[in-house]
């Protein structure tokens, strides 16, 4: 039987090609096929026999499967819809099966389904991943805001406690009673609660000042709860009363015969005590 091995490629004992021989055949495969085949444009990208056979195997694995066209820049919406339906876009927006996260409202879910289907044309998998990522980010943002808000409010209330001193609790109680007097139908307090401003230290301080203005106009015999002053306010009140009394010998604070003497002394002592004197 004649030797069919090409010249220079003698098969070694055992019928196995050497590594050098394999390399030669792999890179010079074009010389072993017809010229028209070797020079066909479709073969231009195959530099060796391994690449050619790998491509052939891949193509064979696709036989019988649905083919997807390559998306084009000039495609119209209908063409994109056809393409995306083949890769998993549902027929209707409501067909997206989305996980309901904490805080999700029905209208938010419906909005996302509509956008995912009509604008983005997402597959079910893509829509679910995007929806979950959005909710994850929203949840983290909500947690960060809540933490920051809590810290801010705590600092605000601490500042009020330092300003009002031992009068803090009585100031809060008296301010609430003052608001009840001013807001007879409760509409203002409801607005405060609905908007969250009832939790703001600045609102408490503002309400206390308003209540104090009404308290200063309190008539004799009025049984309404008096609004306590902050330490600095009480100190200033006591100092002014003493200053006025030192200038006027007939001042009720100094004049024991004045009918208002006892009440004035009691008032001065209260201011002095609250001011830390």
The predicted-structure confidence for 179-222, as pLDDT tens digits, reads as follows 887 888 889 889 999 999 989 999 988 888 877 776 655 544 45
C-alpha count within 13 angstroms, C-beta hemisphere, residue 128: 11
pLDDT of residue 49: 82
pLDDT of residue 173: 84
pLDDT of residue 1: 41
Two structure tokens written together for 206: 């503002």
Two structure tokens written together for 221: 């015999």
Residues of the chain with pLDDT under 70: 1-15, 61-67, 214-229, 277
DSSP state of 30: G
pLDDT of residue 138: 93
Q: Which of 237, 240, 226, 219 is nearest to 274 (CA)?
A: 237
Backbone dihedral angles phi then psi of residue 264, each to the nearest 5 degrees: -70, -45
pLDDT of residue 219: 44
Do residues 198 and 189 touch, judged by C-beta distance below 8 A? Answer: yes
pTM for the model: 0.46
Residue located via tokens 């890769």: 87
186 phi-psi bin (left φ>0, alpha ψ -120 to 50, beta other):
left
d(CA 239, CA 245): 10
Other CB atoms within a 10 A radius of the CB of residue 162 amount to 11
Other CB atoms within a 10 A radius of the CB of residue 29 amount to 19
d(CA 20, CA 42): 28
pLDDT of residue 220: 45
Q: Could you read off the pLDDT of 118-144 as tens digits, one per residue?
A: 989 999 999 999 999 999 999 999 999
Do residues 121 and 80 touch, judged by C-beta distance below 8 A? Answer: yes
pLDDT of residue 66: 62
pLDDT of residue 65: 55
C-alpha count within 13 angstroms, C-beta hemisphere, residue 50: 5
Helix runs in the chain, H state only: 19-27, 35-38, 49-62, 77-86, 106-114, 124-164, 168-182, 187-195, 201-216, 231-247, 261-274
């Amino acid at each position: 039987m004649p030797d069919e091995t090409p010249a220079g490629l003698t098969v070694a004992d055992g019928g196995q090609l050497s590594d050098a021989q394999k390399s030669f055949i792999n890179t010079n495969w074009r010389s072993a096929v017809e010229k028209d085949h070797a020079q066909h444009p479709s073969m231009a990208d195959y530099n060796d026999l391994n690449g050619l056979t790998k491509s052939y195997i891949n193509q064979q694995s696709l036989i019988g499967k649905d083919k997807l066209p390559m998306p084009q820049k000039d495609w119209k919406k209908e063409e994109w819809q056809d393409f995306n339906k083949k890769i998993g876009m549902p027929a209707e927006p409501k067909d997206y099966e989305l996980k309901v996260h904490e805080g999700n409202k029905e209208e938010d879910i419906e909005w996302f389904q509509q956008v995912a289907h009509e604008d983005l044309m997402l597959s079910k998998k893509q829509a679910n991943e995007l929806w979950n990522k959005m909710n994850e980010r929203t949840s983290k943002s909500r947690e960060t805001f809540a933490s920051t808000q809590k810290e801010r409010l705590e600092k605000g209330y601490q500042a009020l406690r330092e300003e009002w001193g031992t009068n803090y609790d009585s100031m809060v109680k008296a301010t609430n009673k003052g608001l009840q007097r001013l807001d007879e139908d409760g509409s203002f307090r409801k607005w405060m609660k609905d908007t969250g401003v009832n939790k703001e230290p600045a609102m408490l301080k503002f309400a206390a000042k308003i209540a104090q203005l009404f308290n200063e106009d309190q008539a004799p015999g009025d049984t309404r709860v008096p609004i306590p002053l902050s330490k600095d306010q009480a100190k200033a009140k006591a100092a002014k009363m003493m200053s006025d009394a030192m200038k006027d010998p007939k001042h009720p604070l100094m004049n024991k015969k004045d009918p208002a003497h006892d009440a004035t002394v009691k008032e001065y002592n209260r201011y002095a005590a609250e001011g830390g004197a």
